[in-house]
Amino acid sequence: MISDYLRKGTESRKDGTYYPSDIGGCMRKLWYSYTKGAEPDMGKLTSIQLGRMMHGFLADVINSEKTDIRMVKPRVAIMEKFEGITVEGDVQAMIISYEGREYVMGVRATKWLDGVRRPDRIHSMQMNLYMHATGVPRAMIAYIEKSTLKTKTFTVKYVPEKAMLALKRFKKLHDCIIRDELPSPEAKQGNEKWQCSYCDYVSECARDAH
């Protein structure tokens, strides 16, 4: 019952349209996900739902008027067109006002809050894309520990070049899909091999290694 409910919440992918939250991850993994269309496993669906719940929890806290933060927009949906592609979808973020300034606030669930010392590289790239698309030039990321609901918040500086890099990565992914050209396995080649542990396409990647 729960698995059926979670799968109903997943969106089908349209040609030439890409989800904002996909950016920053391994390009080869994204290529597989868009060309093979594999259904997310329960672990991933649960993680997505947990993120939504954390987003709702933080929105409720802000709306409780017991903080010095004011809610401007509880949910954010973006649509950005770039060189023939569209980056579109709801994102785990909200727009808030703090000390007279608006911020895009992203929400992330984490198992171990003490291990979070700075914004994750992928999350930072996502937030720059969100700032670019919304026109709000300031952002925060709130990391919420799953077991305790303790929170750490970091500010993210708007760097236009990072937002443009995100869009260019989507364009590169699109070109690879159109040409049926397999991208390089970025996670394996860089310092983020941990991504492979959470990838649905490990066997395909090993088979297609080059």
Full-model pTM: 0.88
- Angstrom distances, CA of residue 173 to CA of 19, 26, 36, 64: 12, 10, 14, 42
Residue 7 lies in a domain: no
Q: What strands lie across the sheet with 85-91, from one edge to the other?
A: 17-18, 85-91, 76-82
CATH number for position 86: 3.90.320.10
Residue 26 lies in a domain: yes
Q: Which domain holds residue 35?
A: 13-205
Q: What is the pLDDT of residues 28-43, one digit of tens each?
A: 999 998 888 656 656 6
Q: Nearest-CA neighbor of 96 among 39, 54, 37, 55? A: 55
Q: Nearest-CA neighbor of 31 among 201, 206, 207, 161? A: 201
Residue 144 lies in a domain: yes
Count of the separate structural domains present in the chain: 1
Residue 137 lies in a domain: yes
Residue 210 lies in a domain: no
Q: What is the pLDDT of residues 59-80, one digit of tens each?
A: 999 998 777 899 999 999 999 9
> Torsion angle, CA of 136/139/141/142, rounded to 10 degrees?
-80
